[in-house]
Structure 1
Amino acid sequence: MADELKRRLVHASGSGLVALWLLADWLELGLTWDLFRLLMVALALGAIGLEFLRLRVGLEWWIYEKLTREYEADQFAGYGYYMVSMTVVVVLFDPQIALPAMLMLAIGDPISGAVSDDSLRTVKGPTVLVTMFVVSALLAAPFLWASPLAVVAAAVGATVADGVTLRYREFIVDDNLTIPIFAATLAFLALEFGPV
């Protein structure tokens, strides 16, 4: 249980990247969206590099034991998917879409995990689905307030990604990869093709 709490806190720490972007002007950091994209690419490449060292070279740091799950021992770990998916949405979308999608992963996922029974079902229970939807909508609203449809679309994307287990043969697609991508894609489609 203690390790699970640590994982959730590390998960939530990703919201610091959103805070960095939001506070950059106030702190006079000179951080443009293009520079932020480069930072995210560097972080994602770093995560991929660490996973390569862990899986292929045998690098075993104590932190891996604490923050990775048993089933990740011989496969790409969730934190790698986490950084890759956040980077994908930052590279492909504008801040108003990418930032709430990042928060849905950083904050929404650990909150929905806290109300989940941790069973591996194809579709999670109603409590988890409603929790993820409400939290995601609340996170999207400050960024997408001008389009309630986009708020709902982003929340639906995050909820489906979190609540429905996607499988390809024996491989289960990690929701750390899908939550931001589904949320951002549906928000983008709502903004592009929804009513004005």
Structure 2
Amino acid sequence: MADELKRRAVHASGAGLVALYLLAAQFDLGLTWDRFQLLMGLLAVGTIALEFLRLYVGLELSLYDSLTREYEQNQFAGYGYYMLSMTVAVLFFEPRVALPAMLMLAIGDPISGTVSDDSLKFVKGPRVLVTMFVVSALIAAPFLHETPLAVVAAAIGATVADGVKLRIGDYIVDDNLTIPIYAGLLATLVLEFGPV
């Protein structure tokens, strides 16, 4: 249980990246969106390098105890998917979409995890789905308030990514990879093609 709480705390710490960008923008500290994209790209490359060292070189750090679960010992870990998906969001979506999509992963996913029964169902229970939707909508609202349908679309994307397992062959796609991408994609589609 303590390890799970540590993992959730690490998960939530990703909100600090969004806070960094927003504070830097608020106080005009020179962290432009282009520079933030570069920072996220560097963090993603660093994460991939850490995973390469862990999986193929045998690097063992106590940090991995907080970042990985037992079933991830011999495969690319969830924290790697986490950084990759946040970076994809920053690279491919505009800030008002990317930032809440990142927060849905950093904050929404651990909150929905606290109400989950940790069963291996294909679709999570209604309580988890409703929790993820409400938290995601609350996160998206300050960024997308001018387009309420985009708020709903982003929340639906995050909820589907979190609540419905995506299986490709024998492989279950980690929701750390899909939450920001689904949320960002659906919000972008509404912003581009939805009613004005």
Q: Same fold (TM over 0.5)?
A: yes
Alignment of 1:86-125 (within 5 A): 86-125=86-125
- Give, as a single letter, the amino acid of the residue that structure 2 aligns with 1:192: E
TM norm structure 2 = 0.98
Where does residue 55 of structure 1 map in the other structure? 55
- SS state of the match for residue 24, structure 1? helix
- Give, as a single letter, the amino acid of the residue that structure 2 aligns with 1:55: L
Shift of 1:67: 2.6
Shift of 1:169: 1.4
- Give, as a single letter, the amino acid of the residue that structure 1 aligns with 2:108: G
Shift of 1:128: 0.1
- Give, as a single letter, the amino acid of the residue that structure 1 aligns with 2:164: V
- Give, as a single letter, the amino acid of the residue that structure 2 aligns with 1:51: E
User: What residue ranges of structure 1 are gaps of 5+ in the alignment?
Assistant: none
Q: Does 1:191 align with 2:191?
A: yes
Aligned equivalents of 2:167, 2:70: Cα separation in 1: 19
Where does residue 165 of structure 1 map in the other structure? 165
Alignment of 1:15-94 (within 5 A): 15-94=15-94
Contact 2:89 2:181 in 1 (8 A): yes
Aligned equivalents of 2:142, 2:25: Cα separation in 1: 18
Aligned equivalents of 2:67, 2:50: Cα separation in 1: 14
Percentage of pairs with the same residue: 76
Question: May I ask how many residue pairs the two structures share in their alignment?
Answer: 196
Contact 1:3 1:67 in 2 (8 A): no
Where does residue 150 of structure 1 map in the other structure? 150
- Give, as a single letter, the amino acid of the residue that structure 2 aligns with 1:70: E
Tell me how large the CA RMSD over aligned residues is: 0.7
Shift of 1:141: 0.2
Aligned equivalents of 1:119, 1:26: Cα separation in 2: 42
- Give, as a single letter, the amino acid of the residue that structure 2 aligns with 1:48: I
Shift of 1:62: 1.3
- SS state of the match for residue 120, structure 1? coil
Aligned equivalents of 1:111, 1:74: Cα separation in 2: 27
Shift of 1:66: 3.0
TM norm structure 1 = 0.98
Q: Does 1:179 align with 2:179?
A: yes
Cα deviation 1:149-179 (Å, max 9, x = unaligned)? 0000000000000000111111110000000
Aligned equivalents of 1:163, 1:64: Cα separation in 2: 26
User: What residue ranges of structure 2 are gaps of 5+ in the alignment?
Assistant: none
